[in-house]
Each structure stands twice: as C-alpha cells, then as structure tokens.
Structure 1
Amino acid sequence: VIVWIVVDFYITDLIPLIRYYRNQVLNILIESFTSPVFTLGSKGFSILDIMFLVGLTIAMWKGVGYFIKIFRTKIIGLTGAEQSVQDTISFLVQYGLIFLGILIILQLWGVDVSSLAIIASVLGVGIGFGLQNIANNFMSGIILIFERPIQVGDFIQVGNLEGIVKRIGLRSTYITTLDKISLIVPNSRFLENEVLNWSHNNPISRVKVPIGVAYGSEIRLVRKAILEVAKSHPEVLLHPSPQLWFQEFGDSSLNFDLLVWIREPQKKSKLKSELNYRIEVSLRKYGIEIPFPQRDLHLKSPEIEQMIQTWIQKNTTQSAELYYPDSFVHKLERKISDLELDEEDNLTVSTINNIDSEILNNIDIDTLIQEMRGSHGVAIKDRRHRWGIYPKCFVGSEAVKWLMRTQNLNLQEAISIGQLLINRGLIHHVLDRHDFKNEYLFYSFYEEE
C-alpha cells in the first residue's frame, strides 16, 4: 500500500494540472483533520486530536488489564482469599486505575478537568436517580463480600427461599435450592431482610425429631431404642452426642424430642426422614407401641347397657378354629422372620464404607482420640501457610502414617478412619474445605478450639 501511494505521488507530481488538484485535496484533508471540531474550556479539539486521544485511552485500558492479570495471580492469589473477594478487589482496582488514567490523559492533553465538574455532577444526579436500585445492589454486594455474613457454600434461608450459595457477585447472589433450581437474588435483599445462615462460622446444626410412645412403655427401653438409632447413623455426629429429651405427658402419648447434630444442614430433611424410618423399626423391635389419638366413650345408662349386651349375645357366633399342620406353621413363622430381617437390613446403613467390620470393632474411638492428642500422638502445633496462621492443628499425611503405625492399618483403612472422625464431628479441616486426605492439609480437633 505504501509503495502504491509513493508511485501515485510521483506520477501526479509529473503533471502540473494534476499536481495542483492533488495539493488542493491534500490541503482540504489536512485542514479537516486539524481544524478544531469543538472546544472544551480554552482548548479546541480536532478530529486528529480525538483519534489520538481515543488511541491513547485504548492503550491505557489494555495496559491496566494486563496489570490486573498480574495483580490477581502474583499478589491477591497468594493471600488465599476467597474467589469472590479476589474478584471484587480486582474490579475496584481495575476501574480505579482506569478512572485515574483518564484524568491523567486529559490533564496531559491540556484539558481543564475542573470544567468537567459541572457536567459530571449533573450526569451523576441523573444517573443516581435512574440507577439507584443498581447502585444499592452494587454497594450491598461489596458489603457482603468484605463483611462476609454469607459465603459461597453456605446453606441459607431468606424468607421462604432456602438453598446453597453458589456465587456472590457485585449486583446479585446465585443460590441453588434443594430442588436444584437456580435463583438470582439481589444483594440488597440480604441486608434489608433477616437471613438465616445455617453454615455461619460453624456448619454444625441441630436437628429435632419429635417422637411419641404409648403410655405404659418402659422409659429405659425407649431411650435405648432411640439413641441406638441416632448413634448408628453415619451422618449423625458423636460430638456433640445425640440427646433424648422427655418433653411432656401428652393427651395420648409420652412425647420425646431426639436432638442430633449434623455437619451438612442442607441434608436435615433427608436425615429426619431416615431417622423416622429407623426409629419405627427399632421401637417395633423392642415391643414399644407408637400410639394414635383416641377417645373413650363411657355409657352410664343401665337400659342402654342391657340392650347392647343382648344385641352382642344374639349376633356373636363362635369363631371357627382352623387347623394348620406344624410344618406349615413353622414355614410361615420362618417367612415372617426373614421378612423382618430384610426390612431391618434395608434400613441399616453402614457407618463406614471402606473399613472392615472387624477392624472397626477393634478400635475404640474415644481411646483413639486420646492417643492421637497424647504425648505420643500426632504433632499438634501452630502452623503457618501463606499469609495465615492456624493454631493447634496437625497434618493429614502425618496422621495417616501414625494410624498405620499404631493401629496396624493399611493406607486405605487409615484414610477411612480419619474420614470417620470427620463424619462424627471429632476433627475437621481448618477451613472446612476438604475431607480427610493423605496430603499436606491441616486438621484440628474440635475439643482443641
């Protein structure tokens, strides 16, 4: 292209008439691009000035974007902050630098920035009225991200909405309900309304299961039957331990409340259903009756009692007894017994999937915890990672080696024992982000906190 332009200039320069018109056209173009199109303050701006200003602004924008990428990976990423916090800081820094860069470019270009103050104030008032809801949600998003009343992964309830927080943006928050429906909730709603956060600080939550048994039931057996079910469920924590409270003498039943603690509050409805299934089987196993509301009608009239007795005598026929061979009775009883066993087997969930039952029977959880925390146990001390200090914690890989050495376990069994301690609410990852793993991850005992 440059070669053709040079050739064109050379050819047109040879012919005087064409050279004259060429120079006229060039003068018009130069004057069009260099003449002021508008003035701002005391300085006029031409098309060439505007093009150069736009180019310089685009270059500044690209430079800021490149700096933000380095800022996120090399600086903010090392702090270990949550992704939403990193995104917000990067957003504020990026647009702050862009705003500052535009002011510097205008100053270098000779534009009096103070002359723009009146225009900016008028536009600010108009935009403020028109976008006040967006601005409200934007500021609410910043408050949520830095004050962190809710975090990604929390199980929350806002009004009638209940679900898990998936992402916190600057304008809205994304929630997934238990029905797997995605909800986009404006951030201002979390600050203007009451929010029930089941996972705030500590995700451990209590679940209450009401139970009623018939009058005349032996309380000791009721307590044993119900607590056996609670302690055998794999999702019920052993610390705090399940409790059974005797609430009241009801109209038709003795009313109890089973209180259990779980680590994942979003599973409370499912857990309550499973416990009800198991409690029904356990109460039937111990011969404890579950009552239903009933009313007794007492008739005091002698005439009515005489009429009823006479009617009963006339309409009552002697029941015929059927004869069954002993072999048939024996088979029937065996079928019923097998059916009851099948029901119990279907409702029984193994507390540990990867550990052989013989190994589990040989391990006392309470004794194991005491040994792990003892002088010859795992190394429990304050540890540092990146910018954070985590007090009184131990390393997962070191705990696995200790379990393998002291309990005579293989690698998979040792990891499963560690996961059992997490499931039962005895230990946890210091940030509650990982299950028990044979890696350089920090875990701590709840009793140490």
Structure 2
Amino acid sequence: MQSFFEQVLFTSETWSLNVGQLLLSLLAVIICIATYRFIVKARWVTELYNKTTEEKTRLKQLRRILLFFLTTLAVYLTLRIIQLNQLFFEGYEFLTLGLLFEGILILQGARLLDWFITNTLIHKYYSQRDVVDKPRSRSEAVDMEKTGSKVVQYIVYAVALIVLFKNLNLDDFSLWSTAVGEDGNSRINFTVSNIMAAVLILLISRLVVWLTTQLFLYGIYKRRGVDKGSQFAFNQLLKYFIYFIAVFMALSQLGINMTLIWTGAAALLVGVGLGLQQTFNDFISGIVLLFERSTSVGDILEFGGNVGIVREIGLRASVIETRQNISMVVPNSKLVNDNVINWSHFSNRVRFDVSVGVAYGSDTELVKKIMIQVVKEHKDVLKYPTPFVRFMDFGDSSLNFTVYFFSRNFMFIEDVKSDIRFKIDAQFRASGVTIPFPQRDVWFKNPLDQA
C-alpha cells in the first residue's frame, strides 16, 4: 500500500509528483470547496444577512471574499503538498511561487477578518444601538460606524503587511539611516519593521479612542444623562491625551532618543513662542472651552452679527454653521474673549418678539386678540410659556403693540417672525384694522393772506 502512494506520476530535473501527493492535494481542494458551501449555505449566515437589500449585498461580498480566500488556500496547500516552490529570479530567494501565494493568502485572510469584524461586530452593534437609543440622525450613526470600520480595516491590513514582510525576510530592510549625536557614532536606522510598528501603534491608539468613546464611555454617558456638549469635551481631551502618548511611543519605536526630543522642544518653544502667541492663545482658549463649557457643541451663538450652531470645538479653532449653511472657522480666543450671546446655554427655548403699530381709534382688544391668535397657530411657537401682548406706547402716528412668544427654532427664527408678520397683516386687513404710515399735520398760526 505504501508503495502505491509513493508511485511517481511525473518527474523532472528539480521536482517529482507521486500518487500520495496528488491524493492529498485533491483532498485539500475538496475540503476547501466543502468549507465554502458549508459557510455560505449555513442557516445562521442566511438568516443574519438575507433580510434587507443592504444585508444581501454584504452576503454577496462575503461569498466573493471567501471564494478568493479558499481558492488561494487550496492552491497554497497544493503547492506545499507537492513541494513545488519555483524560484522566479536567481539571487532573489524570497521571490518563490510558494511565498507569492503565501502573501496573497495573508492579504485575503486580512480581507476576510476585516469583513467579519466590520459586519458581525461593528455593524450589528450599531444596528442594535440605533433601535434602543434612536440617534439624532441616521447619517450620524453611519458616520460613527464607518469610523470604527475603517480603523479596524487599517489595523488588520497593517498586521497583514507586517506578517508578509516578515515572511519575505524584508522586515530588517533599512530604508534610511542617519547619524545622531555630537560624535556621529550613533545611527538611527529606519527599517521596514520599525516603520510598520510605529504606524501600527498610531492605528491602535485610534482604535483605543474609538473603543473607549463608543463602547465604554457611551454607556456611562447614557446612564448618567451627560449632555452632548460635555460628552464631546471629555472625548476630545481623552483623544488628545491618547494620541500624545501614541506619538511618543511611535517615535521611540523608530529609535529616536526622546531625551533629545524634549530638550529640543523646550529650546524650540522659547524661540517660537513669541511668534506664535496668538496660536497659543487660541490653544489655551480651546482648553478653557472644553473644561468651562461656556460654549458646547450644538449651542446657538450670536457674535459679530452672525448667528450659527457650534458643530465642532477643536483645540485651536471651532467650526460654526451659520444660517446661510456656511461653515465658519472661528479662533477659540474669539469665543472666550469677545462678547458672545449663547442662546441655548441654560435653556433650549428663547423668547422672541414681533412689533406692529395700528392707527389711532383702532379696537385695541381686537388687535391683542388677533396677534395672540396668529402667534399661537404657528407650528414653531411653544404653547408654554403662553404668548402675550404688550401695549408698548402711544406713538407719533400709531398705537404700538409687541407680541412675545417662545421658540426653539433659533437658527431660522427670522423666518418664523416673517410668517407671523404676513399672517398679522392679513388678519388686520380682514378685520379692518389699519397699519398707518407716518404722517404729520401742519397748522399755521397766522394764515396767509388771500391773494
């Protein structure tokens, strides 16, 4: 029986194929085919990803990635079993047929792992969270999900490249070398492995930020009822702290002496500080905003004749979206030092008013009734506190009234006022109430002589 399996079917100068190798190769191919059919036909897969059009698209993507991976695996196992490892170029031992398919297999495995993490963990997590928490907008939830998916994707492919370079014996390949120190005897070598490790540290720091803010802190914020502005402020500070540590770890991984960095940074700050006073002022103001929270993300601000909503607070500048849908980048020092009106700092409702004058002799109770009725009928006016009218003054040409009302539509309150003015004018016309124009009667004490 052993002689049967060792029977040679094909031979050449450098390679031979026997029956046992052929049967093992066929067995490997059959196992890969059976694995593919088992996974794509599994009930838990079809039930999980065969409900909506989006999930069906994800299932098709899984089948395509799995097919490429198992096909590459079958070819790689076959090459290993039949011991076929053809060298492409003389002198380049790492460029062999086996290593080529091994590299392809690593990349396809990274794609498969990326798909499972993104769709089985991240997508399902956000889908369940959307059902429970009802995010402010679907686009917001999609953006958070895409951020997490991209971070995982970058890390998976970075690890795959590190493994690939190590298998190709390229991890110690020096890309650049430089002399350091006063005597020049010490050198820093930037190798492929050092650079990839530094990049991986930065990517992992980004993953740590995402996991901390979206998984760990999200539950704490929800249980304690922390407002969006406070969440953003703490998340920003945590992100800067983690990135700061990650950058120094990455530099250390590259072989850079951190003592020299600190010494150089101290000397540099002395010289640059005078030229960057405003930048440092904005930087400190950003920290003050994040801690003091006099201005938070989502607040409605009025400054310099502009009204807008705060979309982002950075360390140097903040992004404010105006009524014209224009993003303004405002230095943080402006929000700290200048006079800024925060309409939504303590409450999400603000009192506004619309003034109008009517002719002398008009029915003032009718005027009051019409103004209150018009305001109450507008969809953006709050029922409580109740709108009210004040008789402001006896003007030169009119009786002046002002109606006061509360609204949460800060950004487009001028449109609300315009609608109210249109409706008041129409109701006044229908009720015979006149809005006068300025007029003046001139009396002559000594009438002119008749000609």
Cα 1:94–1:43, aligned 2, differ >3 Å: closer, same or farther? farther
Residue aligning to 1:186: 331
Amino acid paired to 2:441:
D
Give the aligned residue type for 1:85: A
2: CA distance, partners of 1:52 / 1:226:
75
Q: Which amino acid aligns with 1:101?
A: M
Residues 63 and 206 of structure 1, relative CA distance in 2, 3 Å threshold: closer
Residue aligning to 1:96: 244
Look up the equivalent residue of 1:266 and give its one-letter code.
M
For residues 128 and 300 of structure 1, the distance between their equivalents in structure 2, rounded to whole angstroms, comes to: 76
Residue 172 (structure 1) aligned with residue 317 (structure 2): yes
AA at the equivalent of 2:215: K
Partner of 1:234: helix, strand, or coil? coil
Describe the SS at the equivalent of 1:247. Answer: strand
For residues 198 and 357 of structure 2, the distance between their equivalents in structure 1, rounded to whole angstroms, comes to 74
CA distance in 2, matches of 1:300, 1:65: 87
What is the count of residue pairs matched by the alignment?
277
1:5 positional shift? 4.4
What residue in structure 1 maps to residue 389 of structure 2? 244
**Cα distance in structure 2, aligned partners of 1:248 and 1:126:** 63
Q: In structure 2, which of residues 388, 407, 411 is the aligned counterpart of residue 262 of structure 1?
A: 407
Residue 443 (structure 2) aligns with: 298
Matched, 1:79 2:220: yes
Q: CA separation in 2, counterparts of 1:289 and 1:72?
A: 60
1:44-443 to 2 correspondence within 5 Å?
Answer: 44-46=185-187, 48=189, 57-80=198-221, 82=228, 84-85=232-233, 87-98=235-246, 101=249, 117-299=262-444, 301=446, 304=449
CA distance in 2, matches of 1:279, 1:59: 65
Shift of 1:55: 6.1
> Is the contact between residue 166 and residue 175 of structure 1 (CA under 8 Å) also seen in structure 2?
yes
Compute the TM-score of the two structures, normalised by the length of structure 1.
Answer: 0.53
Distance 1:302 1:197, change over 3 A: closer
Q: What is the CA-CA distance between 1:143 and the residue it aligns to?
A: 2.5
TM-score using structure 2 length:
0.52
Residues 197, 250 of structure 2: 8 Å contact kept: no
Q: Does 131-140 or 153-162 show the bigger shift?
A: 131-140
- AA partner of residue 362 (structure 2): S
- Residue matched to 1:310: none
Q: Describe the shift of the 1:290–1:70 C-alpha distance in structure 2 as closer, same or farther (beyond 3 A).
A: closer
Q: Does the 8 A contact of 2:311 with 2:319 survive in 1?
A: yes
| Structure 2 residues without counterparts, runs of 5 or longer | 1-86, 94-173
1:225-245 Cα shifts (integer Å, max 9, x gaps): 222222222222121111111
Task: Give the drift of 1:303.
Answer: 6.8
Cα deviation for residue 139 of structure 1 reads 2.8
Q: CA deviation at 1:105?
A: 5.8
User: Partner amino acid for 2:374?
Assistant: V
Q: Which runs of 5+ in 1 are unaligned?
A: 8-32, 308-449
Instruction: Flag the 1:157–1:98 CA change in 2: closer, same or farther, 3 A.
Output: same
- Backbone CA RMSD of aligned residues: 3.6
For the 8 Å contact 2:179–2:188, the answer to whether it is kept is no
Assess, with a 3 A threshold, how the Cα gap between structure 1 residues 163 and 204 changes in structure 2: closer, same or farther: same
Distance 1:41 1:146 in 2: 43
Higher RCO (C-alpha under 8 Å, 6+ residues apart): 1
SS in 1 for 2:360: coil
Alignment partners' CA distance in 2, 1:56 and 1:236: 58
- Matches of 2:327 and 2:260 in 1, distance apart? 48
1:117, distance to aligned residue in structure 2 (A): 4.9
More moved, 169-178 vs 242-251 = 169-178
Highest Rg: 1 or 2?
A: 1
Please state whether the residue corresponding to 1:183 is helix, strand or coil: strand
